[in-house]
Amino acid sequence: MSAAAARDGRVGWLEHTVAGVAGSIERAVFTEELARRDGWLQAVDPRAKLGMFLAVVLAASLARSLVVLVLVYLLVLAAGAASRLPFELFVKRTWLGIPFFAGVVIVPSIFLTPGPRLFAVAIGPVVLGPTMPGLLGAAVFVARVGVSVSLAVLLVLTTPWADLLKSLQALRVPDVFTLILGMTYRYIFLFLHALNGMFEARKSRLVGRSPGGEERRWIAGSMGTLLHRSFKMSGDVYAAMLARGFGGRMRTYRAYRMARTDWLALGAGLLAATLAVSADAVLR
């Protein structure tokens, strides 16, 4: 940090970038630790877990009753508590951006949906105001998105990434798709470490604030260097995989076997999804 920034109590772009890269790596490591805890969902076979979550996500996406969506979300929170997930982390990851992004999409329908208005504001010949059906539809939409994202976050937090990718093979997902996902997830952290090292090296050599033109040139050069490293590493890794007998299919050391508890968990997920769809049809 430069002397002027230190006096003003400000943090420069370099400190922000280093902190962001380090935070991303720490969050990923912490997620893997959560996936290996002794919790309920962590002990369920990944294939059964994926089937459970897909069924409940489908039920949530079809639901039009706010009561049903709230009940499903309470069920998700109970599953997160049984899996020993930090409540604050789980809720914060889910609801930090949902109200903003989902709200931006649904805001026009609040005013354009026909129905009695909560209040009206006349702007010349145009009368604007939120309608009761529009507000209810917006609440249902945001709740539906929140439940679906919560289920996705819960699945990722309770399942190691390699196991999650292998469970996709049970759904007949193409091998090339799972292989690309696995390689991307594995090597993105390697490049984050390299990027963090580049920023730390520059920071250790800075005494004062550098001119804006020099910073832009350094950023452009760093982007080119990192891109060159990625292309070179991709060729080296692929050659090493071929030398070790790679045949186009991802393999893991862990062998899956569905136990009685896994079948029960899958049945419970399907039952919850069925009950949610039935209750929504009754309350609609």
* Res. 124: pLDDT tops 70: no
Summarize the confidence of residues 176-182 as an average pLDDT. 78
**What is the C-alpha to C-alpha distance for residues 278 and 284, in angstroms, rounded to an integer?**
10
- In this prediction, residue 271 has a pLDDT band, given cuts at 50, 70 and 90, of very high
pLDDT tens digits, 61-94: 888 888 999 999 999 999 988 988 888 777 877 7
- What residue has token string 């039009």? 64
Total-model pTM: 0.72
Q: Any idea where the domains of the chain sit in the sequence?
A: 3-283
Give residue 150's identity as a one-letter amino acid code: S
- E-assigned strands of the chain? 121-123, 126-128
* Res. 191: pLDDT tops 90: no
- Residue 67 contacts residue 280 (beta carbons within 8 Å): no
**What is the C-alpha to C-alpha distance for residues 272 and 159, in angstroms, rounded to an integer?**
21
| 105 Cβ contact partners less than 8 Å away, ≥ 6 residues apart | 141
Give residue 54's identity as a one-letter amino acid code: L
Summarize the confidence of residues 268-278 as an average pLDDT. 91
The b-or-e profile of 31-47 (16+ CB within 10 A means b, else e) is beebbeeebbbbebbbb
Q: What is the pLDDT of residue 46?
A: 87
Q: What is the DSSP letter of 85?
A: -
Summarize the confidence of residues 108-136 as an average pLDDT. 77
Summarize the confidence of residues 145-166 as an average pLDDT. 85
* Res. 277: pLDDT tops 80: yes
**What is the C-alpha to C-alpha distance for residues 281 and 75, in angstroms, rounded to an integer?**
19
DSSP 230-253: HHHHHHHHHHHHHHTT--S----S
User: What SS3 state is found at 126?
Assistant: strand
* Res. 190: pLDDT tops 80: no
Give residue 8's identity as a one-letter amino acid code: D
**What is the C-alpha to C-alpha distance for residues 11 and 129, in angstroms, rounded to an integer?**
43
Q: What is the DSSP letter of 84?
A: T
Q: What is the pLDDT of residue 55?
A: 93
For residue 56, give both structure tokens.
Answer: 């409940």
| 52 Cβ contact partners less than 8 Å away, ≥ 6 residues apart | 44, 265, 266, 268, 269, 270
Q: What is the pLDDT of residue 70?
A: 92
Sign (positive or negative) of CA dihedral 270, 93, 24, 221: positive
